[in-house]
């Protein structure tokens, strides 16, 4: 296991710094994605999007946040108050916890777990409990139906997601996310051409990406919150800060799953296959820090690019039907994911 940049001699100080870094990233990165969605969708639909709040509406989402804080916190009279209040937190926390293992640059991670991928996928599967809690406790039929749809969808797409990641683990020979990034840098097609796992694992990448869209209930897989049928699914009865928490959880989920896709398939912090990061001293900055900053920029660029594709999908594809969604997963994606694992295993043994 490689050490994090934040591994200091003082354990408690290091822990404090790591938590601060994770919370900071968790609060800023989803807003960036949200702003890109606002502007990206607007321009794809020949609109301008938010323009009033600061330069080109860049302050729109912080302004929205302040608005949410001021709103009245309404709990429906028939709702189960405790479960209703706790649900947004349960949906939000897993996304934050996963960030602890995701490497954003050389040395830029909180913890390089031996079981990194496994941890990330295990924790991400918890957030559906928050959605189910919200759906049930709202005492609303729209919420309940949305929750049932969400649960069915998450059960169906958990498997292709996990199996897609398992094929990468098989090829890399490690479950550590840092180890997988390094394994991609060392990988050569036929021993010559440097390439990331996105090419040998093209099928796995496709499955992983589409399954993560479905896991996030993003269009075209947004039946759980289908506005024309269910108002807003499990979020129908929520207002104010609790609603904002759900939205934050959704965009944090985009960041986290895009980051996982970048780490598993797109070479992590390496700018090009086989090309390393600059690690010379710049002015007062030591080479290590320069490499970390450059790596962070590269990783963020890739995350934003993947998130942009997700937004692009939203502007392009109509919503699928519930039965189509289920059939795609059980009859196409899961068999393909298993086939992918078999092929990768055969190549791993032969090569």
Partner 1 sequence: MTVIDVVMLAVAVLGGASAILVVVSRNVVHAALYLVVALISVAGTFLLLGAEFLAWTQVLVYVGAVIVLILFGLMLTRAPLGPMPQDNDHTRLAAALSVALFGFLAVLIMQAFGDTALPLSVTPTAAIGEILYVHWAFPFMVLGFFLTVALVGAIVLARREEGEGPEPLFDAEMDSERPTPAPTDVSTTPGVTSPSQEIRT
Binding site for partner 1 (CB under 8 A): 78-80, 83, 113-115, 118-119, 121-123, 125-126, 128-129, 132-133, 135-137, 139, 144, 147-148, 151-152, 154-155, 158, 175, 323-324, 327-328, 331-332
Question: 207: which 2 tokens?
Answer: 């499955």
**Over the Cα atoms of the chain, what is R_g?**
21
User: Pick from 87, 23, 53, 75: which is nearest to 245 by CA?
Assistant: 87
Shorter beta-carbon distance to partner 1: residue 214 or 328: 328
Shorter beta-carbon distance to partner 1: residue 52 or 323: 323
Shorter beta-carbon distance to partner 1: residue 158 or 222: 158
Shorter beta-carbon distance to partner 1: residue 158 or 182: 158
What percent of the chain is helix, strand and coil (3-state, nearest 5)? Answer: 70, 0, 30
CB of 305 to partner 1, least distance (A): 28
CB of 274 to partner 1, least distance (A): 28
**Torsion of the alpha carbons at 202, 204, 205 and 210, rounded to the nearest 10:** 130
Question: 168: which 2 tokens?
Answer: 């990468």
CB of 239 to partner 1, least distance (A): 19
- 240 sits in the region (left: phi over 0; alpha: psi -120 to 50; else beta) called left
**CA–CA gap between residue 188 and residue 195 (Å, rounded):** 6
Shorter beta-carbon distance to partner 1: residue 229 or 322: 322
CB of 160 to partner 1, least distance (A): 14
CB of 326 to partner 1, least distance (A): 11
């Amino acid at each position: 296991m490689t050490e994090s940049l934040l591994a200091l001699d003082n354990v408690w100080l290091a822990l404090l710094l790591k938590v601060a870094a994770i919370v900071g990233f968790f609060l800023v990165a989803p807003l960036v994605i949200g702003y890109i969605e606002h502007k990206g969708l607007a321009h794809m639909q020949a609109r301008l999007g938010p323009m009033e709040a600061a330069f080109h509406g860049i302050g729109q989402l912080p302004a929205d946040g302040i608005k949410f804080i001021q709103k009245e916190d309404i709990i429906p009279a028939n709702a189960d108050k405790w479960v209703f209040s706790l649900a947004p937190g349960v949906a939000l926390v897993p996304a934050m916890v996963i960030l602890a293992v995701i490497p954003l640059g050389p040395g830029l991670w909180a913890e390089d777990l031996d079981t990194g991928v496994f941890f990330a996928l295990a924790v991400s599967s918890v957030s559906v409990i928050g959605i189910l809690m919200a759906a049930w406790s709202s005492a609303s039929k729209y919420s309940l139906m949305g929750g049932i749809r969400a649960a069915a969808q998450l059960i169906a797409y958990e498997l292709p997601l996990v199996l897609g990641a398992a094929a990468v683990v098989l090829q890399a020979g490690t479950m550590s996310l840092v180890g997988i990034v390094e394994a991609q840098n060392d990988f050569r097609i036929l021993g010559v051409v440097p390439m990331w796992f996105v090419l040998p694992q093209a099928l796995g990448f496709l499955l992983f990406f589409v399954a993560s869209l479905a896991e996030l209930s993003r269009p075209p897989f947004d039946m759980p919150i289908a506005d024309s049928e269910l108002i807003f699914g499990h979020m129908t009865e929520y207002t104010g800060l609790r609603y904002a928490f759900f939205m934050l959880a959704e965009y944090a989920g985009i960041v986290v799953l895009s980051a996982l896709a970048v780490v598993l398939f797109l070479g992590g912090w390496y700018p090009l296959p086989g090309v390393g990061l600059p690690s010379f001293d710049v002015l007062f900055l030591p080479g290590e820090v320069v490499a970390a900053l450059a790596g962070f920029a590269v990783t963020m660029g890739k995350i934003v690019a993947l998130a942009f594709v997700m937004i692009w999908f939203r502007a392009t594809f109509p919503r699928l039907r519930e039965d189509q969604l289920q059939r795609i997963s059980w009859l196409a994606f899961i068999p393909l994911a298993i086939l992918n694992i078999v092929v990768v295993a055969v190549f791993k043994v032969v090569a």
